[in-house]
Chains A and B, each alone.
Chain A
Amino acid sequence: KAGVTQTPRYLIKTRGQQVTLSCSPISGHRSVSWYQQTPGQGLQFLFEYFSETQRNKGNFPGRFSGRQFSNSRSEMNVSTLELGDSALYLCASSSGPGGETQYFGPGTRLLVL
């Protein structure tokens, strides 16, 4: 079974631009969560989607948004990029609510200049 895939793996943007990251969950998994990883703040939960609905949301500004498609693939979007948005963005999938194990993808490393 293929793991969680994320595209692109690396991205360089400039301040003020917007970016869209993509995540394909493990086949059969319906829940997708997004996390931001930085050296200073560690791993922080962004949001979680299940059956195309946002179920949980972390404490991030509205510039961070996401969506999930009917095939469970998910995208996250960051608008008006700031330098502090430079981070590793990780996607994780699980079978759904109550599904205990989250499987993480390799992440997308975003650098904002």
Chain B
Amino acid sequence: QQQVKQSPQSLIVQKGGISIINCAYENTAFDYFPWYQQFPGKGPALLIAIRPDVSEKKEGRFTISFNKSAKQFSLHIMDSQPGDSATYFCAASRDQGAQKLVFGQGTRLTINP
């Protein structure tokens, strides 16, 4: 019940295209869903996060879509750029605190120029 399942494991997208990464969770007590971006040799960095009271949140080229009934959420990267090539992790936590994050397995995104 503590798992967060992420797909796909790897993704190749052409420059300018839309990258879509999906996550599913089981624990309905989760109430905070962030996405992190990690470059080689660096720690994860928060990209965007959402709470279950909204169905979508957009920040620049990054959008989270959230489906509470399906217990799924996804990250859309519009106009994908080579600089977006990184590993992306979805995560979830409960009790309104982000301190104990449960992470998905990660998606290695490659944007071809």
Write the residues of chain A forming the contact surface with B, with a CB cutoff of 8 angstroms: 4, 31, 33, 35, 42-45, 48, 50, 55-56, 58, 90, 92, 94, 97-107
Contacts and interface: CB of A to CB of B under 8 A. Distances in A.
Contact of A97 (B41, B43, B99): B99
Contact of B102 (A31, A45, A92, A94): A45
Interface of B: 32, 34, 36, 41-46, 49, 89, 91, 96-106
Contacts of B42: 106
A58 B32 CA distance: 18
B96 A45 contact: no
A15 to B, nearest CB: 26
A54 B104 CA distance: 24
Contacts of A103: 46
Given A90-B43, A90-B44, A107-B43, A42 B103 contact: yes
Given A104-B45, A107-B43, A48 B100 contact: yes
A31 B45 CA distance: 17
A107 B103 CA distance: 17
Interface of A is mostly: strand
B43 A98 contact: no
Contact of A4 (B43, B89, B101): B43
B105 A33 contact: no
Contacts of B45: 104
A107 B99 CA distance: 17
13 contacts: A42-B106, A43-B89, A45-B102, A58-B100, A98-B96, A98-B97, A99-B98, A100-B34, A100-B49, A100-B97, A106-B42, A106-B43, A107-B43
Contacts of A58: 100
